[in-house]
Amino acid sequence: MFKFFFKRLLVLVPVFFGVTLVAFGFIRALPGDPIEVLAGERGVSPERHAELMAQLGLDKPLWQQYLSYVGDVLQGDLGTSLITNRPVAEEFFELFPATAELAICAMLFAIIIGIPAGIVAAVKRGTLVDQGIMSLSLAGYSMPIFWWGLLLIILFSNTLNLTPVSGRLSFLFEVEPVTGFMLIDSLLSDEKGAFKSALHHLVLPTIVLGTIPLAVIARQTRSAMLEVLSEDYVRTAKAKGLSPLRVISVHALRNAMITVVTVIGLQVAVLLAGAILTETIFSWPGIGKWIIFSVFSRDYYAVQGGLLLIAACVMVVNLIVDLLYGLINPRIVH
C-alpha cells in the first residue's frame, strides 16, 4: 500500500511543473498587463510604464521570470498580490474554506442522490422510473449553470421566498471565523439562528453546483450497475439465497463503485470550475470570485498561485480516489 501511494505521489511531480507552466503562460498570454489595468482609461506614459514594470520584475525575459517564480514556489512562496499587496497564499486560504464548504456540500448532494438514483434506474431498467431518472439527469447535465441558478433564485427566493439570494450568512449575525466553514463556525458561535441562516444560504448554491456532478454520477452508476448486474458473480450471489438488497448493495455495488469512484474524482475538477460561476451568481465569497477578479486585474501572482493551489486540490482528491480505488478493488493493490 505504501509503495502504491509513493508511486502515485511521484506521478504528481511532472503534473506540478506542467501546471506552473500553464498558469504562468496563460495569464501572460492575455492582452494587457497589471500596470495598464491599474492605470485604467487615463493611461500611463511609456516611461512610467517601463519603470513600474521594472519595479515589479516584469521586464526580464520570460524564462527568467518563470525560473524565479518556480524557485519561489518550491520554497513555499507563491508571491504577493499586485493589487492588494498581500501574500497570495494568505488570500487564498482565507477564501478557500468558503469554496471548499460549497464544493463539499455540492459533492455530497450529488453522491447522496446520484448513486441511489443510478442504482434504482439500473434495477428498474426499461421502466418509467428508469426513463424518468435518466431524462432528468440528461436535463441536469445539459443545463447551463448560470441559467439554472437564476431559475432557482426566481422560484425559491423571489416567488416562494424560501431562501436568500446571495452571501453565506444573514447580516443579522456576526460569526467569529474559526475554521472558515460557516456551518461549523455558526454552530460554535453563541448566535442563535446563525446555523439555520448559514444552511439556508447554502441550499441553492449547493443544488446549482451539484447538479452536473449529480447527473454524471447517476448515469455512470446506472451503466456500471447494469454491467455488473449481468455478471456471473451476481447470479452466484442470488444462488446463495441472499436478499435482493444484499445482492445489489453488497455484491453488485462494490464492483460498480470502481468506475463510479473514478468519475467522482474527475467531477471534483468540474466542481471547482463550476464553483467560479456559482460563486459569481450567488455572491459567494470564495476563490472562484477572487480568481475572476484577479484575472480581470491581471494580478499575475494571484492568478498563478490560485490556479496552482486549485490544481493541487484536484491532485490531492485524485490521489485519494486512487487510494480508495485500491481499497475497493483488491486486484489493484495485491
CB of 68 to other proteins, least distance (A): 50
Question: 80 - beta bridge partners?
Answer: 87
Cα–Cα distance between 82 and 35 in angstroms, integer? 9
Q: 84 with 298: CB under 8 angstroms? A: no
Residue with Cβ nearer other proteins (165 or 333): 333
Cell numbers that stand for 241 in this block: 439465497
Residue 236 Cβ vs other proteins, minimum distance, rounded to whole Å: 5
| Minimum CB–partner distance for residue 115 and other proteins (Å) | 16
What SS3 class is residue 80? strand
Minimum distance, C-beta of residue 248 to other proteins, in the bound complex (Å): 13
Distance set, CA 191 to CA 67, 102, 179, 186 (Å): 49, 22, 16, 7
CB of 199 to other proteins, least distance (A): 37
Residue number with CB closer to other proteins (86 or 240)? 240
- Tell me which residue has cell 491581471: 298
User: Which spans of this chain sit near other proteins (rule: CB under 8 A)?
Assistant: 231-233, 235-244, 251, 254-255, 328-331, 334
Beta carbon nearer to other proteins, 3 or 331: 331
Q: State the minimum distance, in angstroms, from the CB of residue 96 to other proteins.
A: 36
Query: Taking a C-beta distance cutoff of 8 angstroms, is the pair 99, 314 a contact?
Result: no
* Coil, helix or strand at residue 8: helix
Strand partners, 5: none
Residues 204 and 207: their CA atoms lie apart, in Å, by 5
Rounded Cα gap, residues 312 and 20, in angstroms: 11
The nearest distance, CB 200 to other proteins, in angstroms, is 41
Q: Which is nearer to other proteins, 61 or 241 (CB)?
A: 241
Cβ closer to other proteins: 172 or 245? 245
10 Å Cβ neighbour count for 6?
Answer: 9
Cell digits for 159?
416567488
Give Cα 1 to chain centroid, integer Å.
27
Residue number with CB closer to other proteins (36 or 227): 227
- The three grid cell numbers given for residue 120, joined into one nine-digit string: 434504482
In the numeric block, the cell 514594470 is attached to 53
Residue 287 or 321 with smaller CB distance to other proteins: 321
